[in-house]
Amino acid sequence: MKKNRESLLSRKIWSRRSSILPEFIDFSVLIYNGRTLVRCWITKGKVGHKFGEFACTRRRRPLRTKKGKGRKGKM
């Protein structure tokens, strides 16, 4: 079992549709999101879900505010 634990430590997961098994509990895995590898810590609550649920594939963009004159002088 000890040899198996070492192989699971920092394991790279390329298949996002694979299910998380109980053997992965308390391990950190790297999940490929299409561009980079995302580190994910596996807990009891994640067992039974898919790996892809925990590696976002979309980028978050900051909220842009308009930089204009506005309604200054138009009253």
User: Is residue 32 in some structural domain?
Assistant: yes
Tally of domains within the chain: 1
User: How confident is the model at residue 47, as a pLDDT?
Assistant: 95
User: Is residue 8 in some structural domain?
Assistant: yes
| Tens of pLDDT, residues 14-38 | 999 999 999 889 989 999 999 999 9
Q: What is the mean pLDDT of residues 59-67?
A: 78
CA nearest to 5, candidates 21, 26, 34, 33? 26
Range of the domain at 41: 2-54
| Tens of pLDDT, residues 1-14 | 455 665 555 689 99
Q: Strand pairing partners for 50?
A: 19
User: Is residue 24 in some structural domain?
Assistant: yes
What type of residue sits at position 68? G
User: How confident is the model at residue 61, as a pLDDT?
Assistant: 83
User: How confident is the model at residue 41, as a pLDDT?
Assistant: 93
pTM over 0.75: no
User: Is residue 60 in some structural domain?
Assistant: no
